[in-house]
Amino acid sequence: MTTTRRNGQLPSCEPCRKSKLRCDHTRPICNRCNRRGRAEECFYHPSPLTKPRDTKAAAIRKPRQKPIHSPGQSANVSVSAVVSPIAIRDVSVSVSGSVCTIGESHAWEKRPFANPGFLGLTSYSDNVTGYAAVLDDAMRPRDSEGSGSGSIAAVVDLRQVELGAQVLLLLDYLPLFEELLEKRFAIWEGWIFSTQMFRCIIKVLRDLYHDATEGVQDKYASMLELSRTFFRNTATEIELRASMTLSEYVALSGARWDSYALLLSAVGYAIYHVVHESEDLPGKDKKGLRRIALAASDICLQLCDRLGTISDTLCCATLQYSVLVHHTYGTGDYRTWQKLGDLTTIVFALGLHQAGDDRNVPFFLSELRKRIMIGAYGMDKDLALFLGRPPRICKQYCNFQSPLDLTWEELIAPPSVRQAALLKLDAKGWNTEGTLGSGARGRTIHLACLIREDILELSIGQGGDDVEEHAERVFKRARQRRSELPAFLQWDPESADPELATLHLEFLHQDYLIYSTLVKRIGKGHDALIKISLEIITCLLDVVSRQMRSHKAHMLTILDLCYIGLPAAGALATELLRHSQPKLEPVLSSAPFPRSEIIQKLSVFISHADTFIQQHEGDYEIALQGQMLIRQVLDRVLSPTTDQPFPDPSINGMTIGDDVDFMALLESFDWEQEIRPTFS
């Protein structure tokens, strides 16, 4: 006779109950246990939560274990949708519900593999004169048993091992992930991470997955054991040596939760730039795959946090995941700002903000650390400017080192080849062959971010300096830094290189930010703001026109349309409406207003923005609202003069009334969307 539980539900067999899996309640043996080869273990306990008290110690230990294994909590973290590769399509539903619960029951427990990381001159270890090195060494975790398995078992429970196993089932789609990443790097190679790095990670994971599943009937059981391996590897510190190659480094770091998070985050980011439609995509489409990549990589990072370890690969994964969060939710979303905090925390904990002892660090890893630090610095400046908040990473507390102007092929090359490449650099670290590669990109971004921090100080700083004098000093430093760029990075209007155009637009945008700050703070600089805004729009239209003739729009140009072009277009639209309304108080100007030119170029700009700004971008709604406001300006300026009130269109619920109200709306709209993904 089949009995029911107190809640009216049918009881689960013991293997399914203990594994937090959904049982089909078939008697005497459930179908799930039959499929998993656990028929001999399958039985239905009449009172599963009642056990005899063997000893007094057992009775004391039981309440401490209850929060981990209680039925109420397990309901929050069970991932029943993913028990085989067939069900991987639904992983986004299951893992998304589990992300927030990892480690909640252990939030305040000591993590045995945690270490303090970088310790500066004012740290507690340095307060004991002469014993800083001894204390720093003493703070490193030691495993009394040598293997560390006992400590891992104490800190990682079965629930987390199972969750890790379900995320590892995504390795069944490793060929698809490899294809997406190859396409993404073919479009644009970026400057921090490289295709060589991901190829090595994929090779390690492919071999590991093949060995774990070949000839195995119970794939899920193999994934459970592989999950335990990932936990052991993640808890193990990687011992570096100067002669280590990239493949040797990844062989030690590839089978870890942080490396897996890096891969999944990179796949999620690649989907934004790669055209790939297939019915076999996990999640059923590109949007579903992005959700899976976002949730699964977040789980991997939280599993790392459960162990309390920090490493270079964890820093890489945190950076790539922060980029994915930004592209998914947008710049103004709190989650993007929150992940920037996580990134800032780990770069400081690793000591990337200070020059360290690199004697035992491989050359490629030393350069990668520099690029990661610049990437974090750039993201910090982008978000701080966009949100008008104080920066988290300030140059006066950091000893920045620009990466050498070398390609990734040269960074990972044998010592003889690398030495030959180093000899081709000038005294400042630039290449002498005039090649704009990943190293040059990192160096120019570092330069641009230094200028951005000066602008940030001008715009939200609380210094008592005269605003005009401060702005002039910022201009002077910016021009000096630009003049120090090598000849091959100087702008030529005839150049067809989209990256060179992006660099030029970045410098123009910095001027725009300075003039915009002057207009807002002291009401001066309208003519200069109009001039620089018109120059930005003109340059953008020329670049887009050139690329449209070649039938190939570069991804950086598309981003420039939104994040640089739209603020400049908004400034022009505001001034256009101001000069078109005689009842508004005119702004004193010494230069004729280029009304016709502005109208023509704004019309073309809006057309290009409609074509190229993608709906899946995180800041699409803000961009769309800005475009609608510019259209309203053009409609009002080009409409014949009438005494009748203008129709009341609305933008996102904001009703636009008479011209004065519309003018106030234009001036209050935040055009300065100066965030740009310089850290991909």
- pLDDT tens for 605-663 read 998 888 877 665 566 677 778 888 888 888 888 886 544 444 444 444 444 444 445 44
Residue with tokens 């715009």: 459
Beta bridge partners of 654: 651
Cβ count within 10 A of residue 404:
21
> How large is the average pLDDT for residues 162-190?
92
Contact 373, 352 (CB under 8 A): yes
- Looking at residue 650, what is its pLDDT? 44
Write out the two tokens for 187: 């479009």
- Looking at residue 22, what is its pLDDT? 81
- Looking at residue 191, what is its pLDDT? 92
Angle at which helices 158-168 and 91-99 pack, to 10 degrees? 140
Q: Is the pLDDT of residue 146 over 80?
A: no
Contact 616, 327 (CB under 8 A): no
Give all strands (DSSP E) within 140-216, no chain letters: none
- Looking at residue 111, what is its pLDDT? 56
In angstroms, the CA 4 to CA 46 distance is 10
- Looking at residue 537, what is its pLDDT? 95
Contact 450, 474 (CB under 8 A): no
Q: Of 1-5, 330-334, 575-579, 585-589, where does mean pLDDT reach its minimum? A: 585-589
- Looking at residue 251, what is its pLDDT? 95
In angstroms, the CA 510 to CA 394 distance is 18
* 234-290 per-position pLDDT tens digit: 999 999 999 999 999 999 999 999 999 999 999 999 988 887 666 666 766 788 899
Q: Is the pLDDT of residue 297 over 70?
A: yes
* 552-595 per-position pLDDT tens digit: 778 888 888 888 999 999 999 988 888 887 655 555 566 788 88
Mean pLDDT of the chain: 79
Q: In sequence order, what are the residues at sequence separation of 6 or more whose Cβ sits closer than 8 angstroms to the Cβ of residue 521?
A: 459, 467
Position 677 confidence tier, pLDDT thresholds 50, 70, 90: very low
Cβ count within 10 A of residue 386:
22
Q: Is the pLDDT of residue 200 over 60?
A: yes
Beta bridge partners of 431: 425
Cβ count within 10 A of residue 31:
12
Q: Is the pLDDT of residue 487 over 80?
A: yes
- DSSP annotation of 284 reads S
* 417-443 per-position pLDDT tens digit: 999 999 999 999 999 998 888 999 999
Of residues 119 and 647, more confidence is placed in: 119
- Nearest CA-CA partner of 630 in 615, 660, 610: 610
Q: Is the pLDDT of residue 446 over 80?
A: yes
Q: Of 11-20, 41-50, 284-293, where does mean pLDDT reach its minimum? A: 41-50
Write out the two tokens for 416: 């003889």
Range from 42-56, 67-81, 594-608, 623-637 that averages highest in pLDDT: 594-608
Pinpoint the alpha helices (H) of 523-581.
Answer: 526-549, 555-560, 566-580
Q: Of 174-188, 398-412, 580-594, where does mean pLDDT reach its minimum? A: 580-594
Of residues 45 and 586, more confidence is placed in: 45
Percent of the chain predicted with pLDDT > 90: 46
Q: Is the pLDDT of residue 108 over 60?
A: no
Q: Is the pLDDT of residue 14 over 90?
A: no
- Could you give the C-alpha distances from 185 to 344, 382, 385, in angstroms and in order? 26, 23, 29
In angstroms, the CA 329 to CA 201 distance is 27
Cβ count within 10 A of residue 139:
14
Domains and CATH numbers, the chain: 1-49 (4.10.240.10), 82-110+149-309 (no CATH), 330-484 (no CATH), 491-680 (no CATH)
Determine which helix (DSSP H) or strand (DSSP E) holds 650, and give its type and residue range.
Answer: strand 650-651
Of residues 3 and 637, more confidence is placed in: 637
Q: In sequence order, what are the residues at sequence separation of 6 or more whose Cβ sits closer than 8 angstroms to the Cβ of residue 13?
A: 23, 25, 29, 30, 33, 42, 43, 44
Contact 116, 198 (CB under 8 A): no
- DSSP annotation of 425 reads B
- Could you give the C-alpha distances from 61 to 55, 64, 92, 123, 159, in angstroms and in order? 10, 5, 36, 38, 19
